Amino acid sequence: MNTELSEQEIIRRKSLEELTRLGINAYPAAEYKVTHLAEKLREEFETHPESLQDARVAGRIMRRRIMGSASFFELQDASGRIQVYVTRDDVSRDEEKTMYNVVFKKLLDIGDIVGVSGFVFRTRTGELSVHARELTVLSKSLRPLPVVKEKDGQVYDAFSDPEQRYRQRYLDLIVNPRAKEVFVKRSGVINAIRAYLTDAGCLEMDTPVLQAIPGGASARPFITHHNALDVPFYLRVANELYLKRLIVGGFDGVFEFSRNFRNEGMDRSHNPEFTVMEVYVAYKDYFWMMDFTEKMIAATARAVNGNTLAPFGDNLVDFAPPYKRVRMVDAIREHAGIDVTGKSEQELRDFCLANDIRVDNKMGKGKLIDAIFGEKCEHHYIQPTFIYDYPVEMSPLTKMHRSEPGMTERFELMVNGKELANAYSELNDPIDQLERFKEQMALSERGDDEAMFIDRDFLRALEYGMPPTSGMGIGIDRLCMFLTNSPSIQDVLLFPQMKPETNQD
């Protein structure tokens, strides 16, 4: 870590020493009883101004205007900002007026956290303010904030570099109000989905993050070692197989917000650690789940944004049901000009090579079809669209189609050209499931490091009988991107994975 201090940091440390010399603890342990947040002060002043004669607020100093014996500063708390009016005579009781002349004017800085006790009023210019009777130092900031400055229409010192913002999210949240708004909405997304599922009778569950077999998705896992058991373990790639065990056990509806880990690439829409909500409901199929999913997402959009419309880049997405429904083979036929039904692996690979679709010899039919769809079709689906009925090679955990040989009862929800949700009529035939796992193992032997393992215990669970079930997983991070108009997944993750810093300053 860089131990060299800037001039500003040296000054702030000297201020801290002076505060200590004056007998002021810059990091007090006692509770500071806050009566109001800034936003509540504004709301209450409009209806009951008389009740705000003894208000106590706390927060960070963001701006100051020092004017002799009276000054103003902006205090920022969790809800926003409020102006504070502070005078020498009101906050200082000694003859030297130490609290104002020395502490406030000389030893406090932008970024310091203070408590203010006083009454609320409007200034001559109409600005709602707290007239301070008492000022309490709560935390001294030893580093200067990158406060935005403007001159001649140009912005200086803005904390806008993406890498800095992601590495120092705490600082991003302090100085960029937009960042905080995104994460408030993210919390709202999770709460709205949880409430919708709970109201539907589903129970929230917990499943293991450390797993002996990384099941439930075709993905490259992170591998670790369990010292006590002396065996390899894997970070969860999906929670599907555990939640379906619970359906076997007799629960009719279960869900989980799951932190998943996939040891794969990073880009603007993928992060190695991400959040998925998966739900499983007994005695339902994928058509029921389509209806359920579109209603849940619409309810979530309304809860977070007040309506179902969500701008995203140049697009305006409407999450109001019903969503368009397109069979996958029809989508590929329309946009790629090939009917993949009945095509051999070599025919699919030849088509990809002829159309500059990146493939390799480790890819089986499922991944080849997925590559064709990803390259030729995905970007056409901006408004919410269910792409359904997937070839069996793409869906090792999905029930065979009830009327179309070679197809499975699966859908993906596409929005803004990206997959948002994935759902099945769940495969509950243990004999068929074993054969699908064996096909995955064959792909693994060809070098596909994303192929699924054979989960013998899951097969044993299915042998006891799982009722007809529909399951759905939705990418929470991606939904938050769409509902907050955030172009990068890193914008909706508080602490996205990044390469470690070599030098910290």
CATH number at residue 469: 3.30.930.10
Q: Does position 149 have pLDDT exceeding 60, yes or no?
A: yes
Instruction: Note whether residue 157 is domain-resident.
Output: no
Residues 206 and 319 in one domain: yes
Are the C-beta atoms of 93 and 101 separated by less than 8 Å? no
Q: Does position 157 have pLDDT exceeding 80, yes or no?
A: no
Per-residue exposure over 383-412, b if at least 16 CB sit within 10 Å of its own CB, e if not: ebbbbbbbbbbbbbbbbbbeeeeebbbbbb
Q: What is the pLDDT of residue 150?
A: 60
Instruction: Note whether residue 168 is domain-resident.
Output: no
Range of the domain at 236: 185-323+383-492
Residues 136 and 272 in one domain: no
In the structure encoding, which two tokens stand for residue 214, read together? 């990384």
Residues 268 and 126 in one domain: no
- 224 C-beta neighbours (distance < 10 Å), count: 11
**Mean of pLDDT values over 93-108:** 88
Q: What is the pLDDT of residue 34?
A: 97
Which candidate, 275, 171, 209, places its Cα nearest to that of 489? 275
Q: Does position 303 have pLDDT exceeding 80, yes or no?
A: yes
Would you place residue 97 in the very low, low, confident or very high pLDDT band (cuts 50, 70, 90)? confident
Residues 99 and 242 in one domain: no
pLDDT digits (tens, 9 = 90+) for 396-432: 889 999 999 888 999 999 999 999 999 999 999 999 9
pLDDT digits (tens, 9 = 90+) for 220-277: 999 999 999 999 999 999 999 999 999 999 999 999 999 999 998 889 989 999 999 9
Residues 11 and 126 in one domain: yes
Q: Does position 79 have pLDDT exceeding 70, yes or no?
A: yes
Residues 302 and 449 in one domain: yes
What residue ranges in 267-335 does DSSP mark as E strands? 273-282, 309-312, 315-318, 324-327
Q: Does position 451 have pLDDT exceeding 80, yes or no?
A: no
**Mean of pLDDT values over 454-466:** 96
- Which 3-state string (H, E, C) describes 319-346? CCCCCEEEEHHHHHHHHHCCCCCCCCHH
pLDDT digits (tens, 9 = 90+) for 186-225: 999 999 999 999 999 999 999 999 999 988 888 899 999 9
Instruction: Note whether residue 152 is domain-resident.
Output: no
Residues 97 and 206 in one domain: no
Instruction: Give percent of the chain above pLDDT 90.
Output: 80
d(CA 99, CA 71): 13
Order across the sheet with 253-261: list the strands.
203-204, 253-261, 273-282, 469-475, 418-425, 407-415, 385-391, 324-327
Secondary structure (3-state) at 176: coil
d(CA 419, CA 414): 5
Order across the sheet with 231-235: list the strands.
210-211, 231-235, 223-226
Q: Does position 127 have pLDDT exceeding 50, yes or no?
A: yes
Q: Does position 151 have pLDDT exceeding 80, yes or no?
A: no
Instruction: Note whether residue 273 is domain-resident.
Output: yes
Residue reference for tokens 């809800």? 79
Are the C-beta atoms of 118 and 135 separated by less than 8 Å? no
**Start-to-end CA span in the chain (Å):** 7
Are the C-beta atoms of 158 and 148 separated by less than 8 Å? yes
Q: What is the CATH number of the domain that holds 31?
A: 2.40.50.140
Q: What is the pLDDT of residue 216?
A: 85
Of 145, 164, 193, at which residue does a domain stop? Answer: 145
Would you place residue 501 in the very low, low, confident or very high pLDDT band (cuts 50, 70, 90)? confident
Instruction: Note whether residue 32 is domain-resident.
Output: yes
Of 145, 176, 197, at which residue does a domain stop? Answer: 145
Which candidate, 298, 310, 339, 323, places its Cα nearest to that of 381? 323
Would you place residue 453 in the very low, low, confident or very high pLDDT band (cuts 50, 70, 90)? confident
User: Is residue 478 classed exposed, middle or buried when 0-12, 13-18 and 19+ CB atoms within 10 A define those classes?
Assistant: buried
Q: What is the pLDDT of residue 505?
A: 61
Would you place residue 391 in the very low, low, confident or very high pLDDT band (cuts 50, 70, 90)? confident
Q: How far is CA 427 from CA 221, 321, 378, 398, in A?
A: 23, 27, 26, 5
Are the C-beta atoms of 478 and 489 separated by less than 8 Å? yes
**Mean of pLDDT values over 78-88:** 96
Which candidate, 218, 208, 220, places its Cα nearest to that of 261? 220
Residue reference for tokens 């090679």? 393
Task: Count CA atoms within 13 Å of residue 175 on its CB side.
Answer: 20
- Which 3-state string (H, E, C) describes 462-475? HHCCCCCEEEEEEE
d(CA 189, CA 134): 40
Q: What is the pLDDT of residue 153?
A: 57
Residues 219 and 136 in one domain: no
- The least confident of 95-109, 134-148, 228-242, 437-451 is 437-451
Residues 228 and 302 in one domain: yes
Instruction: Note whether residue 497 is domain-resident.
Output: no
Is 61 or 149 the better-scoring residue by pLDDT? 61
Instruction: Specify the DSSP class assigned to residue 250.
Output: T
Q: What is the pLDDT of residue 218?
A: 82
Are the C-beta atoms of 122 and 129 separated by less than 8 Å? yes
Q: Does position 323 have pLDDT exceeding 70, yes or no?
A: yes
| Number of domains within the chain | 2
Q: What is the pLDDT of residue 1?
A: 46
Of 91, 116, 145, at which residue does a domain stop? Answer: 145
Residues 316 and 261 in one domain: yes
- Amino acid of residue 91: V
Instruction: Give percent of the chain above pLDDT 70.
Output: 97
DSSP-based helix, strand, coil % in the chain, nearest 5: 35, 25, 35
Cβ neighbours for 51, distance < 8 A, ≥ 6 positions apart: 44
Residues 77 and 193 in one domain: no
Instruction: Specify the DSSP class assigned to residue 453.
Output: P
Is 154 or 210 the better-scoring residue by pLDDT? 210
Instruction: Note whether residue 101 is domain-resident.
Output: yes
Q: Does position 306 have pLDDT exceeding 60, yes or no?
A: yes
**Mean of pLDDT values over 480-499:** 96
Instruction: Note whether residue 74 is domain-resident.
Output: yes
Q: Does position 141 have pLDDT exceeding 70, yes or no?
A: yes
Is 444 or 20 the better-scoring residue by pLDDT? 20
In the structure encoding, which two tokens stand for residue 431, read together? 């004999």
Residue-averaged pLDDT of the chain: 93
Q: Does position 16 have pLDDT exceeding 70, yes or no?
A: yes
Residues 98 and 228 in one domain: no
User: Is residue 382 classed exposed, middle or buried when 0-12, 13-18 and 19+ CB atoms within 10 A define those classes?
Assistant: middle
User: Is residue 121 classed exposed, middle or buried when 0-12, 13-18 and 19+ CB atoms within 10 A define those classes?
Assistant: middle
